[in-house]
Structure 1
Amino acid sequence: MSTFMDSWIASLQRYWQRHRSLQRSWRQHRYVALDLETSGLDPKSDQVLAMGWVVIEPPIIDYQQAQYFVTQAQPDLKQSPVVHGLVSRDFVDATPPRQALEQLASVLNGAVLVCHHVQFDWQFLERLAKQHQLKLQPLATFDTLTFEASRLRQQQHHIARGSLTLPACRKRFGLPGYDAHHAYSDAVACGELFLAQAYQYAGSSEASLQELSGKA
């Protein structure tokens, strides 16, 4: 009974700590903008080929904490040479997936995970972490795609096919073009879009992280 109570109390403490954190201004938090390159769309059968991320402490993107890894020594490339531009020679010095995940787990702990279509990336990350018996524990997630879709609907814009891609979303905010389909450049592009969205919505106000995340 004591063990159960200890576990219950610890869970309750974590819940309230997270709740209090979510009430703090969104600008007081750390964010990790991340992108994955995968061999396909199914986390059960496809591989994570590469991952890249940058750390954001508003209003700054901290490139010194940025990382990029290719993570398969024997990749199943499928259409990756066409979609991502990844070919066999790119994997000669691949980083073991566990090593890359350990670094991600460290930087992501207590931070907000930012992705363009976060559900897709998170499903792959969760499965990969489970395979290597690791835990990824972000404080919250923020989806730049969902945020943009919500913003357009509120303004009664028609959401045309292709209008929610990362380049299309960036263009509406006046952000420059970039070389898409590379995990690192896509992570940077996603991070820049996040800052543009957040500052347009909340500016320098004390809007809470919970309020901001609720829009995504």
Structure 2
Amino acid sequence: MADFVASNIVKEFQTPAQTLRILDGVSLELDRGQNVAIVGESGSGKSTFLHIIGSLDQATSGTVELLGKNVSELNEGELASHRNANVGFVFQQHHLLPQLSALDNVLVPTLATGKPDSAMIDRAKSLLESVGLADRMTHKPGLLSGGEQQRVAVARALICEPVLLLADEPTGSLDAANADSLGSLLLEVQQESNSILICVTHSGKLAGDFSRTIRLEKGKFV
């Protein structure tokens, strides 16, 4: 079995008039070290799929397995632990805490298990160095450019050494130069960490850099 398996994912929303099926039996399998870009029109369900496999949302039916564990069967407490330990998220908006330095923002996910120790602090510093922010560690988000803020977000996503790295329009708010740089960075750190990278994007250029591209159309992969 593959390291990551999403099987027959269905997501429906009930409206007063009808039931809307956003995802219609979507399946995907990936092993560590693999990456895929998911493209499609706005409203096609790309982000919904990402949220389900990242356990931020629940499918109407279908299963998600990571490293042989059926994530769909976990309770709320177990899901929170699973997300923190195994899943890293990079969103279009960086969601950095404005009152914290870049270093402290990277360390935020570690607070779920208590105060970060010296080894974790060293890892956070190393990650910021690896994303080109060695001289920005003490800067708060307001003093960083948009591209730098997204790099902090990438380092934060990697702090707990996730198996599954999910990126939802990570370059959507960046200019062309910063978008190219961030796209290259995501793929570089994914290969270095031997993780699984799944990226939702409208950018054909970014998708073209991935090993594989899938289009989501009318609730199905085509």
TMscore range, shorter length: under 0.3
**Higher share of residues assigned strand:** 2
The structure, 1 or 2, with the larger RCO (C-alpha pairs under 8 Å, 6+ apart) is 2
Max radius of gyration: which structure?
1
The structure that is helix-richer by fraction is 1
TM-score (norm 2): 0.24
